[in-house]
Amino acid sequence: MGVRYSWLILVLAALPIAGERAESPLPKFEDRLALPDGRLVDCPPSILAATGAAEVRCFATSLEFRDLKKRVREVRRLERDEPAAVGHRPDLPDFWPGWIRHGSLAEHRFLFEGRVMLLVFDEEQGLLAVALEPHCAHGEELLDVKEKDLPRSIHKARPEMPEQARIERRGGTVVVEATIAETGEISEVCVLAESPVRYGFAESALKAIRQWRYEPTLRGGKPIAVRMSTTVTYEIH
């Protein structure tokens, strides 16, 4: 069992501090990428449907794939060299590999200013898409706890491999944020990042995690609600 990647787009997952929505790093990324002759165009409906994102931007460009890879590599190098580039979620793992090819399409996920970015490039059409994924809305301030520091797990349902992913022998990854109530039950859960987005990995992960149960987290002898992030990985064996 396992979890991993997607279709035609560049994704920014807004991953803010609790109670805050940080400014989108999209303009900064676009400026650094500096697409030659890049012009904003209407995104095909198929891209909008595939992302499920609140904001999607598509660019037409004559840039060749090898040159795009060089530009992205340079943007990532500059990001790593900047002290402020840690971003808003330094705990989020940058677990994605390099460029993944799907016929004429190529996609690449990475962290940029603490956000999950997905670049999808169609060299045949000269189309690069960029999207801002929905983010988890936060209400009250909660204690963030690493999964390994939680009390004993009482029940941990195992996510099921989506049928289409099983047929195509496709793995995937989902990063989830969950609120654990005073009772130890999962009261809220949302997806921070999913890759790929068209196989149902997020739905599978959410269904399983909603069933998880823990012993209550105690502070000063009293049970409290806490928040945690976890990564669910779907692998093909």
- Do 172 and 160 meet the contact criterion of CB atoms below 8 Å apart? no
Higher pLDDT, 120 or 235: 235
Quote the CA–CA distance of 30 and 115 in Å, as a whole number.
14
pLDDT in the model for residue 10: 28
Across the chain, mean pLDDT equals 76
Place 150 in a pLDDT band, splitting at 50, 70 and 90: confident
Label residue 132 left, alpha or beta by phi (over 0 means left) and psi (-120 to 50 means alpha): beta
Per the listing, tokens 């991993």 go with 4
Within 41-147, residue ranges assigned H as helices are 45-51, 65-81
**pLDDT higher than threshold 80 for residue 86:** no
Position 18 confidence tier, pLDDT thresholds 50, 70, 90? very low
Per-residue pLDDT tens over the stretch 28-57: 888 888 898 889 998 877 666 555 555 678
**Does this model's pTM top 0.75?**
no
Binned at pLDDT 50, 70 and 90, residue 227 comes out as confident
**CB-based contact 131:56 (threshold 8 Å):** yes
pLDDT tens sequence across 88-147: 454 555 656 678 777 777 878 777 776 667 788 888 888 888 766 555 655 567 787 877
In the chain, where the domains are located: 11-133, 143-234
The residue with greater pLDDT, 93 or 222, is 222
Q: What pLDDT score was predicted for residue 159?
A: 94
Residue-level pLDDT at 28: 82
**How far is it, in rounded angstroms, from Cα 73 to Cα 111?**
12
More confident residue, 237 or 74: 74
Please provide residue 80's backbone torsions phi and psi, each rounded to the nearest 5 degrees.
-65, -30
pLDDT on residue 183: 94
Please name the fold of domain 143-234: TolA/TonB C-terminal domain (3.30.2420)
* CB 53, CB 133: distance < 8 Å: yes
Mean pLDDT across the stretch 6-35? 53
Range with lowest mean pLDDT among 81-90, 149-158, 209-218: 81-90
Please report which confidence band the pLDDT of residue 58 belongs to, taking 50, 70 and 90 as the band edges: confident
Q: Give 182-200 pLDDT, tens digit per residue.
A: 999 998 888 877 777 778 8
pLDDT at 51: 56
